[in-house]
Amino acid sequence: MEVRELTCIVCPVGCRARVRVEGGRAVGWEGLECRAGEEYVKREVELPLRDFFTVVRVKGGGVVPVRSTGPIPRERLLEASRELAGLEVEGPVRVGEVLVRNLLGMGVDVVATGEVEG
């Protein structure tokens, strides 16, 4: 069993929680003041997810911003970034256009969030 310290981000109080973790699950905690905080802390300990966004190179120079269509595990953020490092797209690209399907088999796509002219 280990004890992890986390900052809750649900509200400006920013409670500093100490969570007892066993087998990858939150089994007890202290320092939290509300239910929403408990929910957040549980998720963060068990399976922290993060929005993934980066930029992708455009042929001819420049970059276009992209994001994943859903959050991905925090632990795989850098992997996702490396996965897209070699990608080069060609205009035209519309906002929302899918550039990569099922990124790293995680069930999310990568879509453009900006435009590229043709």
CA-angle at 107, arms to 102 and 112, nearest 5°:
50
What is the C-alpha separation between 7 and 50, in angstroms, rounded? 15
Which of positions 46-105 make contact with another protein (CB under 8 A)?
A: 50-51, 53-55, 57-58, 61-63, 65, 67, 74, 77-78, 81-82, 85-86, 95
**By C-beta, is 46 or 51 nearer to another protein?**
51
Cβ 118 to another protein shortest distance, Å: 16
Token code pair at residue 24: 């990858």
**By C-beta, is 27 or 95 nearer to another protein?**
95
Which of positions 10-39 make contact with another protein (CB under 8 A)?
A: 11-14, 16
User: Residues with Cβ < 8 Å from 44, sequence gap 6 or more?
Assistant: 6
Contacts to another protein by CB under 8 A: 6-7, 9, 11-14, 16, 50-51, 53-55, 57-58, 61-63, 65, 67, 74, 77-78, 81-82, 85-86, 95, 113-115
